Structure 1
Amino acid sequence: MNKRRYILSPCGTSLLTNFAKDGRQRNLIYKHANAKNKSDVPEADKAVLAEVIEPLAPAIETAGYEQAQVMSAELNSIIKFYGGVLPESNDFHLLLCSDTWLGEVTAGLVSRWILKTCPGMTVVIHRQEDLQTREMTTFQWALSDLVKKFYEQLPKYKADGYKIIFNLTGGFKAVQGFLQSIANFFADETVYIFEQSEMLMRIPRLPVKLDAVETVEKNLACFRNLASRVPYEGDITIPETMILRMDDAVELSAWGELLWNEAKEQLYKKRLWPSPNPEKIRYGKGFEKSTGSIEQDRMRHVNNTIDKLNRFIHDRKSNLKSLDFKPTGREMAPSTHEIDAWADKDAQRIFLHKDGNGCYILNKLGKGLGH
C-alpha cells in the first residue's frame, strides 16, 4: 500500500495572470500583488481585477486536466506529480499563500479544483502572516514562523506514515528559493517542473545535517530565550544570520530556528540545563536531585517545561495551557504552585514557589495530585 502524501505547494498568482485578457489586467495583478486586503485596492482597480476573478470560479470548476495545467502552475505540477490523473486518495495538500488578498484568492481557486476533482483529498490553505515581498524584514520574520510551523507539524504527519513532498513549481521566487534551501531538513522529496519543459524534476532528500549542537550549546541561554520570544538581557553572540532585529526586538531568524531545532532535541535529552532566566527562575536545593534519575526523554520534557514557564512569566497571556499552572491545593511547603512536567499515565509535576523578589524557585519534580 502506498504511503499517503503530504504535499506542500506555495501558491503565487499565475492562475490570475494566465486568465487575464490583456496587459491592463495583468499589470494591475502585479501592481497589487502585495495588497494585504481587498479594501487596500482602489475601487477602480478593484473593478478591473473583478473582471479576472469573478469568471475564474466557474472556469476552474469546469476545467479538465489539460485546461487546468495551462491555467495554473501549481495545478500543472500537482497533476504531473500524480502522472496526469489525480487518484482516489486521502492525500493532504497544504497550499501556502502569501499574506495578501490576491494570494489567498488564488489558493482558494486551486483548492476548489483539487476538491472538485478528488473529493477524498484534504486541502488546507495556509496564509502565512507577513509573507509578502514588499518589505524584507517582515518577510524574514514570516519565514522564521514558517520554520516553527514545520517543526511543530511535519513530524506528526511523518509519524502517521505520510511521505512529505515539497512541490516548488508555483509561488513567488523568494518563497521558492527559501523552501528549496530548507527542503532537505523537512521533505522526503522535492518536485518542480524544469524551466519550460513538460518534465517533472524529482529530487530525493539528501543526507544534509547541520552541525548545530556545539554552536547552540555555547549560546544556550540566548537561544532558549529568543526561541521562546523572551527578551534576552545578556550579550547576543550568535551569528547575525541567525537573528532578526526590528527596533528593540530580537528573535531567531529562519536559519536560527533551523539551527535551534536541529540541536535542541539532542541537547535537552542530555541533562538538566541551567535556568534560561536566573532572575526569574532558579532551582531549589532538591530540584536537580529529583531529576537526576529520570530517562532521557523525560529530561527533554523537563527542559521544555522550564522554557514554557519562562515564556509564561514573560507573558501571562501566552497560550500555555500545557503548563497547567495552579496552586498545589495541599500542604507542600515551601511549594505553593505546580506545573506539568509531562502529562501521560506516569505524569509528573514540578512544584515551585515565588520568593520575595518575584523569582520562581523550582523545588522538586514529583507525582501530581491523585498519584
Structure 2
Amino acid sequence: MRFVLSTVGTSILTNLIDRGNPTEGTWFGTLRDSANFKQEELTDETEIVINTLAERALEKLNENSTATNRRISAELNGIYGIYGDRLPTDSQDQHYLICTDTAQGQMTGDLIKDFLESQGFTVGVVTPSQLSTQDPESFTTGTKELIRWLENNVPRRESGYHVIFNLVGGFKSLQGYMNTFGAFYADEVIYIFESPTADLIKIPRLPIQINTAIIESHLIKFALMDTGKLYSTEEIEGIPETLLEFVQENGMTFAGLSAWGGLIWQRTKSDLLSGKLLQFPRLEYKRSFIDGYEDLNSQQRTDLQETLAKIATALEDTGGDTTQLNQRVSGLNFKPLANFDNIFTFRIARGIRVSCSEVDNGLRLHRYGPRNAVNRNPN
C-alpha cells in the first residue's frame, strides 16, 4: 500500500487561463497578487476570477482524460506518474494533499480531493495554520505545524506502507522544505520536470543518522522550546543557530525552535524523553512519583514528560499561576480532588492521571497511574 503526500499549488487554476483572450490577460497577475489571501480578503473581482477558473477546472476533470488532467494539474501529473498513467480502481492507497492556508490553496485542494475521491481513493486535505508565502513568520509557523502533522500521521516503515512525497506541484519554497522532510519521512520523493509527459524522477530515501549530542546536553531547553518557551540568547549558548528561530520582544532578542530544530526534535524526542526523569522548572517530585516513573514503558515516559514540559512552560509564563493551566495546556483537566486538602489531579492520557499539590510558584507531583487508583490514593 502507498501513503502519498502531495504538495498543492495553483497550477490547476493558472493553466486554464486563456492567454489569447484579452479579458483574461490580467488574470495570472490577479492570482499571483492574491496567492496569500484568505477568503475574506479577496475582492469581488478576484473571487470571480478564481471561481471562473475553478468551474473551468471542474469541467475538465469531469472529462476524465488522463492527458488533460496531467496537463492542467502538476499534482495530478505526479500522481498519474506514480501509477504509470492508469489510476487503479478499489485502491487501498491513502492520499493527503498539503495545501496553503489561503483561499486559492483551499480551492485547488478541494478540486483535486474531489477528483481523486471520484476515482475511489481515500483522500485527506492538510492545511497547516498560517502556511503561506506571505512572510517568513507565517511560513515558519506553518512548517512547524506541518512537521508535527508528519510526525503524528506518516506511517513508520514497519507499518507496511510505502511513503511517497509527490512534490511535482506546490510552491517552490514549500517544495524545498518538503524535500528535506522527505529525507526523514518518505521512502521516495518524486518530481517531474518540464514536459507533462516527462518521466518520473524518483529520489530514494537515504540513510540519515542524527547526532543527538547537542540536544542531550540541552534536553530540558529543547523540551520546553517545543512547547513554545523562548530563551534569551545568553541561555541558549552552544545550540547551533540553524536549530533556532530568533524573535524580538521589548527590544530584546529571544530564541525558540526553528522549523529545522523542530524537525530534529520530533525525530529524536521519543528516545530522549523515554530516559531519565527530567527536572523541569517549577516542578518537584515526591519519591512515590519517581518510583512510579521507573516502572513506566518508553511511550508512557515520553507522553508524561511531554505533558510535564507543557505544564512547566505554562507555570514559567504565568509566574506559577495554576489557575491558568487549563487554558494554556489543552486537555490537561487540572482540578482539585474532592475530599482532599490541597490535592489536585491532571490528565496524561485516557484513564491516566497524576496527583499533585501546590507549592510555592509550582507543583509537587505525587503519583502517576490509572485514574481510579490515583483518586483513591493520591499521596
TM range (shorter): 0.7 to 0.9
Name stretches of at least 5 consecutive residues in structure 1 with no aligned partner.
none
Q: Give the SS at the match of 2:67.
A: helix
Tell me if structure 2 keeps the 8 A contact 1:141–1:253: no
Deviation by residue 1:223-279 (Cα, 9 ceiling, x = unmatched):
11110123447712322222223443743111111221232111122211211xx2x
- What is aligned with 1:134? 134
2:16 aligned with 1:19: yes
- What is aligned with 1:306? 308
Deviation by residue 1:77-136 (Cα, 9 ceiling, x = unmatched):
1011111111121322111111221122112111222122x12x1112222222222212
- What is aligned with 2:320? none
RMSD: 2.6
- Output the CA distance in 1 between the equivalents of 2:7 and 2:264: 23
- What is aligned with 2:184? 185
Q: Give the SS at the match of 2:327.
A: coil
Give the deviation of 1:312 after TM superposition.
5.7
Name stretches of at least 5 consecutive residues in structure 2 with no aligned partner.
20-24, 318-324, 375-379
- In the superposition, relative to structure 1, how do residues 62 and 370 fare at CA in structure 2: closer, same or farther (>3 Å)? same
Give the deviation of 1:151 after TM superposition.
0.9
Q: Which AA in structure 2 matches 1:327?
A: P
The count of corresponding residues between Structure 1 and Structure 2 is: 353
- What is aligned with 2:107? 105
Range 202-211 or range 233-242, more displaced: 233-242
Q: Give the SS at the match of 2:129.
A: coil
Range 184-193 or range 55-64, more displaced: 55-64
- Output the CA distance in 2 between the equivalents of 1:370 and 1:290: 13
Give the deviation of 1:370 after TM superposition.
4.7
Deviation by residue 1:281-311 (Cα, 9 ceiling, x = unmatched):
2223543244334444443343233224335
- Output the CA distance in 2 between the equivalents of 1:78 and 1:246: 39
2:227 aligned with 1:228: yes
- What is aligned with 1:353? 357
Q: Which AA in structure 1 matches 2:356?
A: L
- What is aligned with 2:71? 70
Where in structure 2 are the equivalents of 1:127-206 lying within 5 Å? 127-155=127-155, 161-196=160-195, 198-206=198-206
- What is aligned with 2:267? 262
Range 48-57 or range 143-152, more displaced: 48-57
Picking from 345, 370, 375, the partner of 1:338 is 345
Q: Which AA in structure 1 matches 2:305?
A: N
Q: Which AA in structure 2 matches 1:133?
A: T
- Output the CA distance in 1 between the equivalents of 2:370 and 2:123: 42
- What is aligned with 1:369? 372
The alignment-based identity, stated in percent, is 28
Give the deviation of 1:180 after TM superposition.
0.5
- In the superposition, relative to structure 1, how do residues 111 and 198 fare at CA in structure 2: closer, same or farther (>3 Å)? same
- Output the CA distance in 2 between the equivalents of 1:194 and 1:255: 27
Range 308-317 or range 179-188, more displaced: 308-317
- Output the CA distance in 2 between the equivalents of 1:103 and 1:367: 44
Range 284-293 or range 238-247, more displaced: 284-293
Q: Which AA in structure 1 matches 2:15?
A: N
- In the superposition, relative to structure 1, how do residues 69 and 358 fare at CA in structure 2: closer, same or farther (>3 Å)? same
